Chain A
């Protein structure tokens, strides 16, 4: 360029022409510079773009590989999860036959090449009992047999391998295959060897058995499986194991649940018996009282019938005498006495009826009941009952009944039993204390009723030893008793509590000062 410039300058032309040429030269120079720059620039940009794009492509490929791997893993995981769920939902041995189509499906999803598949479950390790479940090449369950390992050579081989927790890989030709098919027919696992073989004739079969804690997964293929395929198959085997363990757990759980149910049933009937025996026990306590009660009308019956006997003798004499006025008088007396006999007979009858009612199962029918009368009756029954049992027994008892208390609807026998129970306990408590303290202590039991707004209240008070604070919460629980063993079932108060709260929607509470008194309070809604 410098040369050209010099040449132009040295040319013999006018300066205007020179200027024009130099300008042209400058323009050419700029064009060349630009072209060169563009060339350099293009090379650089090409390099940069190539570098960036190559890096981008390799990065994208890396990401793609990662995503594909994740996708594959996710598919596998989902597949294994589904088989886990399926197997875990199985409940019976019959259900287990469904395992084989599942395995067939999973092997397909996992892309493990196979033409045969199945599973061998070791049902009992000690007796070598095996369950063999095989699928047809198209995934249907073809054979399911329960055998002992020693029944065929091959099952023994499988079992031995399993015991050592080793994979078993074997190669079969058509002959071995036929032998196996025939042994299956012999064992009745399949209908005919032909069907089994025809479904997919195989000249050469590689059998892979992969161990898991409860059995072996079987994959049969025309080629040996690769390491990777074996490891995938092993992961399937492990999944089956987990799922099968769940299946077993569920079965065990079911059995345990059944046992618990049975135990519960036994307990319920035992409890029923106990409740009945508690009833009978309270009946026993009543018997003496009832006997005393019955004695009274019986005395009347006896006395009046004796009296009537004498009066009839007199009557006969007076008839003979023809003394009609006296005859009339005597006949009238006899009639009155008969009525008295009849009245007391009925009374005894009622008492017996009540006793029978008491022992009978409560029908739970609520009837309007005079609470005051009920309390009075049971107080006397209890007192006389205890007196009858123990001549030394003596206690003062007081009643204070609120006459304004209306009749209320209760299950009479049930409520009576509660009142009796509380009164018996009260007498028991004061007797205990009397035995401890002797003279100077006056055992007292008070029973009172009160008509409150909306409720009827029954209080059973005794000045016995009271209820210690430590057991106050427990005394209403079943089977809790402070009485020496054999003297109480521990059900009295808890039954009473149930009767009041559950049957009558009332309240049973206790107030007490230890060593001084105890007072049980029944509140019943009106």
Chain B
């Protein structure tokens, strides 16, 4: 399988780069499209439909292509994967669990041994329900993916295919595991700090109180810095997400939970993942600047799974982008240099993947890598 990346800000730019990409006779069957909400994704989709290329798409909060970190652009990975080996599935609805399990059932009907890369739109969904929905159908299905972004406007994110677009749904690239090998690893690097706190009131991914204090007040107390933004909503978006809560789950997984939005009335925080009432959490702080090396080191362990992948996908948390600032590109560069293969990704509002020595979970603040190889 051959993969080629193209990117641009306008449809014309993309059209011309596409033309250049197929000059050598390359015949893509699949286009993975990660596009800023500010760009005209409709034209892109129409263009690929016209070319009979299947689209697997999502809006972003920043794009990654090879070693470049972009904003307000569209990045596209073109793949000539055998059409028999993959299928795009989609679901829409507010009951995340049931649409995820419906998706998993369809995936199993399509391939007896499917692997799934799923992206979900929706800003307040409890993404753990995606994993639960899939795993309850078949917990052997490899599952990776992330939550679509909307450039931190917090209005609406979208997933899309050639004929489908939803701000409240799932899009999945399902592959035949016997034909396409997929492996992934999620790494964070955030360090816990301070003493344990108790989530005294929460519902799904909405946390009302921490140690009986309104959740937003707790965060404002710690993370409202002089000279930074003022309103709670802004503080959340700009600062809080870099200081996520570290949650030790019942299954032993340690996951990070970043606040996404604040409810001004109840002073509740809406997190990018569920935090059960009564659970113990700690604050965590961004890692030092050696994070990039550490991440690259950890990711290179994937080499043991696939030595020579055809393509690399990267679902990186938006908070990482904020925490690493101008050095985010360095991370992409480091990771890309592990395999030196086309890499595409975007900054997400949450990642679905597998941390080292653990089972699939929903994460925040991770760099969640997926490597693919089509077996010849």
Whether a CB of chain B sits under 8 angstroms from the CB of A513 is no
Tell me the chain A residues, 386-408 only, with Cβ under 8 Å from chain B.
Answer: none
Q: Assess whether A41 is in contact with B286, with CB atoms less than 8 Å apart.
A: yes
Tell me the chain B residues, 207-262 only, with Cβ under 8 Å from chain A.
Answer: 221-223, 225-226, 228, 239, 242-243
B328 to chain A, nearest CB (A): 10
| Closest Cβ neighbor of B239 among chain A residues | A44
Q: Assess whether A38 is in contact with B195, with CB atoms less than 8 Å apart.
A: no
Whether a CB of chain A sits under 8 angstroms from the CB of B25 is no
**Inter-chain contacts of A49 with B (CB < 8 A):** 193, 285
**Inter-chain contacts of B223 with A (CB < 8 A):** 48, 51
Q: How far is the CA of A49 from the CA of B287 in the complex (A)?
A: 12
Stretch in B71-79, B96-104, B296-304, B319-327 with 4+ CB within 8 Å of A: B319-327
Q: How far is the CA of A59 from the CA of B283 in the complex (A)?
A: 14
Whether a CB of chain B sits under 8 angstroms from the CB of A33 is yes
Q: Assess whether B193 is in contact with A38, with CB atoms less than 8 Å apart.
A: no
Q: Assess whether B222 is in contact with A51, with CB atoms less than 8 Å apart.
A: yes
**Inter-chain contacts of A51 with B (CB < 8 A):** 221-223
**Inter-chain contacts of B326 with A (CB < 8 A):** 30, 33-34, 37
Q: How far is the CA of A186 from the CA of B6 in the complex (A)?
A: 114
Tell me the chain A residues, 460-513 only, with Cβ under 8 Å from chain B.
Answer: none
Q: Point out the residue from A34, A47, A56 that lies within 8 Å of B194, measured CB to CB.
A: A56
Whether a CB of chain B sits under 8 angstroms from the CB of A253 is no
| Closest Cβ neighbor of B243 among chain A residues | A48
Q: Assess whether A53 is in contact with B323, with CB atoms less than 8 Å apart.
A: no
Whether a CB of chain B sits under 8 angstroms from the CB of A52 is yes
Tell me the chain B residues, 252-287 only, with Cβ under 8 Å from chain A.
Answer: 283, 285-286
Q: Assess whether A34 is in contact with B195, with CB atoms less than 8 Å apart.
A: no
| Closest Cβ neighbor of A60 among chain B residues | B195
Q: How far is the CA of A45 from the CA of B325 in the complex (A)?
A: 14
Q: How far is the CA of A38 from the CA of B325 in the complex (A)?
A: 8
Q: A37-B325, A44-B239, A47-B225 are in contact. Are A52 and B286 (CB under 8 A)?
A: no
Q: How far is the CA of A381 from the CA of B193 in the complex (A)?
A: 107
Q: How far is the CA of A85 from the CA of B289 in the complex (A)?
A: 64
Q: How far is the CA of A486 from the CA of B98 in the complex (A)?
A: 96
Q: How far is the CA of A59 from the CA of B210 in the complex (A)?
A: 14
Tell me the chain A residues, 181-203 only, with Cβ under 8 Å from chain B.
Answer: none
Whether a CB of chain B sits under 8 angstroms from the CB of A55 is yes
Tell me the chain B residues, 310-331 only, with Cβ under 8 Å from chain A.
Answer: 323, 325-327
* Residue in A37, A44, A56 whose Cβ sees the most chain B Cβ within 10 Å: A44
**Inter-chain contacts of A52 with B (CB < 8 A):** 193-194, 222, 283, 285
Q: Point out the residue from B221, B286, B327 that lies within 8 Å of A45, measured CB to CB.
A: B286
Q: How far is the CA of A52 from the CA of B243 in the complex (A)?
A: 11
**Inter-chain contacts of A37 with B (CB < 8 A):** 325-327
Q: How far is the CA of A46 from the CA of B286 in the complex (A)?
A: 11
**Inter-chain contacts of B228 with A (CB < 8 A):** 44
| Closest Cβ neighbor of B283 among chain A residues | A52
Q: Point out the residue from A33, A38, A41, A48 that lies within 8 Å of B222, measured CB to CB.
A: A48
By the criterion of a CB under 8 Å from any partner CB, how many residues of chain A are at the interface?
20
Compute the total of residue contacts between A and B using a CB distance below 8 Å.
Answer: 49
B225 to chain A, nearest CB (A): 5
**Inter-chain contacts of A44 with B (CB < 8 A):** 225, 228, 239, 242
| Closest Cβ neighbor of A30 among chain B residues | B326
Q: A38-B289, A45-B285, A49-B285 are in contact. Are A55 and B194 (CB under 8 A)?
A: yes
Q: How far is the CA of A504 from the CA of B325 in the complex (A)?
A: 106
A29 to chain B, nearest CB (A): 10
Q: Mark B186-203, 1 if CB is under 8 A from A, else 0.
A: 000000011100000000
**Inter-chain contacts of B226 with A (CB < 8 A):** 47
B293 to chain A, nearest CB (A): 15
Q: How far is the CA of A30 from the CA of B242 in the complex (A)?
A: 22
| Closest Cβ neighbor of A40 among chain B residues | B325
A495 to chain B, nearest CB (A): 73
Tell me the chain A residues, 43-94 only, with Cβ under 8 Å from chain B.
Answer: 43-45, 47-49, 51-53, 55-56, 59-60
Q: Point out the residue from B222, B242, B323, B327 that lies within 8 Å of A55, measured CB to CB.
A: B222
| Closest Cβ neighbor of A33 among chain B residues | B326
A60 to chain B, nearest CB (A): 6
Q: How far is the CA of A49 from the CA of B226 in the complex (A)?
A: 15
Q: Point out the residue from A33, A43, A53 that lies within 8 Å of B193, measured CB to CB.
A: A53
| Closest Cβ neighbor of A41 among chain B residues | B325
| Closest Cβ neighbor of B287 among chain A residues | A45
Q: Mark B102-132, 1 if CB is under 8 A from A, else 0.
A: 0000000000000000000000000000000
Q: Assess whether B327 is in contact with A34, with CB atoms less than 8 Å apart.
A: yes
**Inter-chain contacts of B283 with A (CB < 8 A):** 52
* Residue in B221, B283, B286 whose Cβ sees the most chain A Cβ within 10 Å: B283
Q: How far is the CA of A55 from the CA of B289 in the complex (A)?
A: 25
* Residue in B194, B239, B323, B327 whose Cβ sees the most chain A Cβ within 10 Å: B194
**Inter-chain contacts of B221 with A (CB < 8 A):** 51, 55
Q: Assess whether B285 is in contact with A41, with CB atoms less than 8 Å apart.
A: no
**Inter-chain contacts of B286 with A (CB < 8 A):** 41, 45
B259 to chain A, nearest CB (A): 14
**Inter-chain contacts of B193 with A (CB < 8 A):** 49, 52-53, 56
Q: How far is the CA of A55 from the CA of B283 in the complex (A)?
A: 11
Q: How far is the CA of A48 from the CA of B221 in the complex (A)?
A: 10
B69 to chain A, nearest CB (A): 12
Q: How far is the CA of A47 from the CA of B193 in the complex (A)?
A: 13
Q: How far is the CA of A52 from the CA of B194 in the complex (A)?
A: 6
B195 to chain A, nearest CB (A): 4
**Inter-chain contacts of A47 with B (CB < 8 A):** 225-226
Q: How far is the CA of A59 from the CA of B211 in the complex (A)?
A: 11
**Inter-chain contacts of A34 with B (CB < 8 A):** 325-327
Q: How far is the CA of A41 from the CA of B326 in the complex (A)?
A: 11
Q: How far is the CA of A30 from the CA of B222 in the complex (A)?
A: 30
B199 to chain A, nearest CB (A): 16
Q: Assess whether A56 is in contact with B195, with CB atoms less than 8 Å apart.
A: yes
Q: How far is the CA of A34 from the CA of B326 in the complex (A)?
A: 6
Q: How far is the CA of A352 from the CA of B217 in the complex (A)?
A: 111
Q: How far is the CA of A45 from the CA of B288 in the complex (A)?
A: 10
Q: Assess whether A41 is in contact with B323, with CB atoms less than 8 Å apart.
A: yes
**Inter-chain contacts of A48 with B (CB < 8 A):** 222-223, 225, 243, 285
Q: How far is the CA of A33 from the CA of B330 in the complex (A)?
A: 13
Tell me the chain B residues, 109-163 only, with Cβ under 8 Å from chain A.
Answer: none
Q: How far is the CA of A56 from the CA of B284 in the complex (A)?
A: 13
**Inter-chain contacts of A30 with B (CB < 8 A):** 326
Tell me the chain A residues, 1-44 only, with Cβ under 8 Å from chain B.
Answer: 30, 33-34, 37-38, 40-41, 43-44
**Inter-chain contacts of B222 with A (CB < 8 A):** 48, 51-52, 55
| Closest Cβ neighbor of A45 among chain B residues | B285
A189 to chain B, nearest CB (A): 59
Q: How far is the CA of A34 from the CA of B69 in the complex (A)?
A: 14
**Inter-chain contacts of A41 with B (CB < 8 A):** 286, 323, 325
**Inter-chain contacts of B323 with A (CB < 8 A):** 41
Q: How far is the CA of A44 from the CA of B243 in the complex (A)?
A: 11
| Closest Cβ neighbor of A47 among chain B residues | B225
Known: A34-B325, A48-B225. 12 other contacts (CB 8 A): A33-B326, A34-B326, A34-B327, A37-B325, A37-B327, A38-B289, A38-B325, A40-B325, A51-B222, A51-B223, A52-B285, A53-B194
Q: Which are the 5 A-B pairs with shortest beta-carbon distances?
A: A37-B325, A56-B194, A52-B194, A51-B222, A56-B195
Task: Name 29 interchain pairs, CB-CB below 8 A, sorted by A.
Answer: A33-B325, A34-B325, A34-B327, A37-B325, A37-B326, A38-B289, A38-B325, A40-B325, A41-B323, A41-B325, A44-B225, A44-B239, A44-B242, A45-B285, A47-B226, A48-B222, A48-B225, A48-B243, A49-B193, A49-B285, A51-B221, A51-B223, A52-B193, A52-B194, A52-B285, A53-B193, A53-B194, A56-B194, A56-B195
